[in-house]
Amino acid sequence: MMALLHFSSSFCLSTTIPNLFSSLRSPTKCPHRSKSGRIPAAASSFPAPPPDSAIADFWRWLGEKGALPKPSPPVRPGLVPEGLGLVAERDILRNEVVVEVPKQLWINADVVAASEIGPVTLGLKPWVAISLFLLREKGLDAASPWRPYLDILPPETDSSIFWSEEELSEIQGTQLLNTTLGVKEYVQSEFAEVEDKVILPNNHLFPSKITAAEFLWAFGILRSRAFSGFRGDKLVLIPFADLVNHNASITSEDVCWDIKGKGLFSREQIFSLRTPVFVNAGQQIYIQYDLGKSNAELALDYGFIESNNKGREVYTMTLEISESDPFYGDKLDIVESNGLGDIAYFDIVLGRPLPPLMLPYLRLAVLGGTDAFLLESIFRNSVWGHLELPVSRSNEETICCVVLDACASALSLYQTTIEEDEKLLEKGELDARSKIAVGVRSGEKRVLHQIQEIFRSREVELETLEYYQERRLKDLGLIGQQGEIIFWESN
């Protein structure tokens, strides 16, 4: 086989970490507060929420740091089904600013650099430096100026990085499992390195021991709380604003946050959060975290999914042109001039057509034998155009076989069928993590079935498709509309 085809998960930690109808509550249905001021929490696998005293301390701290406008801010932190959230104190108009956080409260690489551990964290990745900062401040306990904020952070989320082995066994065979294990391994290796190079040689700066589990906690906190426009070098935690929860019914990706200068001549910046919809007093403010994330990405980053949203059900197909392919050099040249590499990832979304570049890539990857003439340099400028249409029957048959084999082997790795998953969901007895597990694994299988359907129907059509040679003869006027060869009689 000249081309390698396998399915795998794609995740990229250095950049962004990667639409259906939500089963989540709509903002207008947020339960009202009880007399104690709490919104009753629904059944969830979240650890116990912070006590009222911690929320009150946090509120006081925000006031002292200038994050609360006078006379009264339009929202307050409250206990909601998603843990903590922002609850409207009065009716709030669409686009109204609900939270304003001055820069002195942001936690980013600059804050770490200016702190006591600044000199020893120079050159670290921003997320690693900020994680060390959070853990050191946590270790300082009452001596840390950040304590009121650290005290309201959850001990974990439902992200799959925090699942037990038993919980992970529920996603056996999924791309989410591969990605989760990959991410955990990555975080573990970053921890080993930073422990060796920074923590242990400077233990006077880190008076309480930092463990791998705590480092994973910090990673999970950053991953779940950083706004989507603030990843990589711009990574920042914005206390207060980071209490806003996600709701699938908000489908506008209009940026609801903003950074601007405070006052005309001041260089101080503030982060402001606006509500994307009108909200009644007592209801929760929500935003849309990221329309571009698949359910697997939502599960990994935040610990929830949108279970009825087809557009979030994605399977990533990885195609590779093997270095052992006799035409590797030519094929690489062709994919590179079309913006791809010798490994390419294609996200296939439930209910949507295949990504446009996937079929040409597949045809090229398996191209060989009598079709190899297309790889000659005289075709270099036109070859991609030819690959967009079927090249030859044997080439098209091969891509069908390769894809169908890959789907069958991917499907054989799951422990349950879609029907079994549906029954479990119908029963409605699943906890939050099991719901995520069942939702993700059935979503992946649905996409794999969809791919199978596409390539099975293609196999049936092989006889009727028009291939390169026929198209070429037609272009030259040597073949009629009915497919008959036109001969010239000599006079």
Ligand X SMILES: C[S@@+](CC[C@H](N)C(=O)[O-])C[C@H]1O[C@@H](n2cnc3c(N)ncnc32)[C@H](O)[C@@H]1O
Least separation in angstroms between residue 48's CB and ligand X is: 11
Binding mask 220-259 for ligand X (x = CB under 6 A): ----xx----------------xx-xxx------------
Residue number with CB closer to ligand X (20 or 358): 20
Question: Is 302 annotated as belonging to a binding site?
Answer: yes
Q: Which of 18, 83, 239, 390 binds ligand X (CB under 6 A)?
A: 83
Which one of 149, 186, 286, 289 is the catalytic residue?
289
300 lines the binding site for ligand X (CB under 6 A)? no
Stretch that binds ligand X, among 79-87, 137-145, 349-357, 442-450 (CB under 6 A): 79-87
**Residues in binding contact with ligand X, number by CB under 6 A:** 17
Active site residue 289: yes
Shortest-Cβ-distance residue relative to ligand X: 83
Question: In the structure, how many helices (H) and strands (E) does the chain have?
Answer: 16, 14
7 lines the binding site for ligand X (CB under 6 A)? no
Least separation in angstroms between residue 252's CB and ligand X is: 16
Binding mask 332-371 for ligand X (x = CB under 6 A): ----------------------------------------
Provide, for the chain, the percentages of residues in helix, strand and coil under a 3-state DSSP scheme, each rounded to the nearest 5.
45, 15, 40
Angle formed by the axes of helices 393-411 and 432-461, to 10°? 160
The neighbour count for residue 191, using CB atoms within 10 Å, is 23
84 lines the binding site for ligand X (CB under 6 A)? yes
> What is the rounded CA–CA span in Å between residue 329 and residue 327?
6
Question: Is 467 annotated as belonging to a binding site?
Answer: no
Angle at 378 between CA 373 and CA 381, to 5 degrees: 105
Least separation in angstroms between residue 354's CB and ligand X is: 30
Placement of tokens 């959230």 in the chain: 85
Least separation in angstroms between residue 304's CB and ligand X is: 4
- Name the nearest CA neighbour of 176 among 393, 478, 379, 447: 447
> What is the rounded CA–CA span in Å between residue 194 and residue 132?
9
Placement of tokens 């116990």 in the chain: 48
The neighbour count for residue 219, using CB atoms within 10 Å, is 24
Could you tell me the strand order of the sheet in which 343-349 lies?
A: 3-7, 314-321, 343-349
Tokens linked to 280: 């009644």
Q: Peptide bond preceding 31: is omega within 30 degrees of 0, i.e. cis?
A: no
Stretch that binds ligand X, among 103-111, 123-131, 296-304, 322-330 (CB under 6 A): 296-304
154 lines the binding site for ligand X (CB under 6 A)? yes
Report yes or no: 129 and 205 within 8 Å, Cβ to Cβ.
Answer: no
In Å, the largest CA–CA distance within the chain is 104
Residue number with CB closer to ligand X (46 or 361): 46
Question: Is 257 annotated as belonging to a binding site?
Answer: yes
Residues 383-402 that bind ligand X (CB under 6 A): none
Q: Which of 73, 78, 85, 126 binds ligand X (CB under 6 A)?
A: 85
Residue number with CB closer to ligand X (41 or 473): 41
- Name the nearest CA neighbour of 84 among 48, 132, 43: 48
Active site amino acids: 289
Q: Which residues of the shown chain bind ligand X in the complex (CB under 6 A)?
A: 24, 82-85, 154, 157, 224-225, 242-243, 245-247, 302-304
